Amino acid sequence: KGVLDEVSKSEVNDLISQQDKKITIAAKDITFTPTNKDRIVIAGIEYKVIAINTNELDNNAVTFDIFLR
């Protein structure tokens, strides 16, 4: 339900490292708001949510960029 990407150099900071992954998920494709306590399983590998960027339009979530480790 999402697009998995590598973290770009411009996204690296004190919290996010170059080895982390990023998944972009459309808000309409999930029934909850993701939090840092969530885990995401991709291809049988469980990832911990490190950070979440919510992309909004008119104060409504459109997509979530979720950084994983």
CB 50 within 8 A of CB 1: no
pLDDT in tens, 6-64: 999 999 999 999 999 999 999 999 999 999 999 999 999 999 999 999 999 999 999 99
CB 66 within 8 A of CB 20: no
Give the separation between CA 52 and CA 11, rounded to whole angstroms: 12
What pLDDT does residue 68 have? 98
For residue 1, pLDDT beyond 90? no
What pLDDT does residue 40 have? 95
